[in-house]
Amino acid sequence: MECDTAIIGGGVVGLSLAMNLAMFEGRGNNICLFESNYLGYGSSLRNAGRFRVHFGDERNLEFAIRSAEYLEELSKITGMNTLITKTGYLWIASDEAAYKTLKSTNELFKKWGVPLTEIPPELLYRNYPFLKERKEIIAGFFGKENGSIHPDSVIFGLERKARRLGVKILERSRVEEIEVKEGKVHSLRSRGVGVSVSRVVLANGAWMLEFSKNLQLNIPLEPVRKEIAVSEPFAFRISPFVVDSALHLYFSQTLKGEIIGSTTIGNEPKGVVELENRFAWMRTYANRLKKALKGSNFIRIIRIWSGYYEMTPDRSHIMGRMKSWPEGLYAIGGFSGHGFMLGPFAGKLMAEFLATGKEPRLMSLYTPERFSKGMTLNESFVIG
């Protein structure tokens, strides 16, 4: 088999890149996407399915605004309804530090036309009667541009469109090795079979660092395992996605009414560790939810699972290549817990670059070279 472009990883990023590259080039039959397991096996079908435009670094803020616009177009592009809704994010400032950060970052949000609305406690409990009253709550901050999108619909929509354009999608096909000859990518091996390639894009999420060790790419990416739970479904009452930084908690309801949420307990395992769950996490999550959400003593959790955040040192993604890498080798990943919302648009930018050779402005900020050149971003709005 021969592929002009090989994409390693069948998550939201790899699939968006495959579909968009096929759209730019007018055909996909020279593109192969390799996935170790099934499409979405990684974080892409293990997340909370939320998107927001509000980021602490201005460059990420612009990227997220453009990403949200792209998510809104996605149903039309793929032909599959992504069930996108804009029910907003509600940040609860329950300590002075969180209040100050939200208040000062709101100046940046105002500049970009996406201000958060500050809500004093009395109004907060009236507008959101599901919240438990807590004396430490200083204010709420509501962002109406944010919302949810259905991970299954996004993944299957991207897959279907990519296949229709001719992309060869190979599931249960782990790439074992990339062969480099005279400083250029030459071939790869999957299921013991050699495949000639002219360029390879690593889009393999949390596995990128471990996978690329032999190639000495020095990608600064660290997987951190996160746990998440859903309850039985209830009548719909929690419309926004609620983020309480003092409790290290987030929660909302899914379209069918399950309460979906997570908490960080502080000793999340790092690296590509077993995707298992812990009673200690479950207990802490239940206790924190009880503090924040009325009636939660009676909620039955029906499912918990885990996945990875792919963290970079500046909590922002990477796109492109380093000059020291073999020619024809690229990477896109390290979305640091934001990949479902930012990944589809990032895949489109990367596709434009591969198809035209011109690096879009919004892509160049995310070069992996930035860590060695001291040009890092400064993202503080990481949830979970």
Ligand X SMILES: Cc1cc2nc3c(=O)[nH]c(=O)nc-3n(C[C@H](O)[C@H](O)[C@H](O)COP(=O)(O)OP(=O)(O)OC[C@H]3O[C@@H](n4cnc5c(N)ncnc54)[C@H](O)[C@@H]3O)c2cc1C
Binding site for ligand X (CB under 6 A): 8-14, 34-37, 41-44, 46-51, 174-175, 203-207, 211, 226, 228, 262, 307-309, 333, 335, 337-341, 343
Cα separation, 143 vs 169, whole angstroms: 38
Phi, psi of 121 (to 5 degrees): -50, -45
Cβ atoms of 339 and 205 within 8 Å: the answer is yes
Spatial neighbors of 230 by CB under 8 A, at least 6 apart, are: 254, 258, 259, 260, 301, 302, 303, 304
Return the number of the residue (103 or 382) whose C-beta is nearest ligand X.
Answer: 382
Residue 151 carries which side chain, given as an amino acid letter? P
Return the number of the residue (49 or 140) whose C-beta is nearest ligand X.
Answer: 49
- Tokens 């020291």 locate to 324
CB atoms within 10 A of CB 189: 14
For residue 312, the minimal CB distance to ligand X (Å) is 11
Instruction: Give the orientation angle of helix 12-25 with respect to helix 151-164, to 10 degrees.
Output: 30
Return the number of the residue (335 or 366) whose C-beta is nearest ligand X.
Answer: 335
Residues 93-131 as b/e (b if ≥16 CB within 10 A, e otherwise) read bbeeebbebbeebbebbeeeebbbebbebeebbeebebb
Return the number of the residue (41 or 109) whose C-beta is nearest ligand X.
Answer: 41
For residue 67, the minimal CB distance to ligand X (Å) is 9
For residue 125, the minimal CB distance to ligand X (Å) is 26
For residue 356, the minimal CB distance to ligand X (Å) is 23
For residue 364, the minimal CB distance to ligand X (Å) is 20
Return the number of the residue (28 or 307) whose C-beta is nearest ligand X.
Answer: 307
Return the number of the residue (105 or 252) whose C-beta is nearest ligand X.
Answer: 252
For residue 292, the minimal CB distance to ligand X (Å) is 18
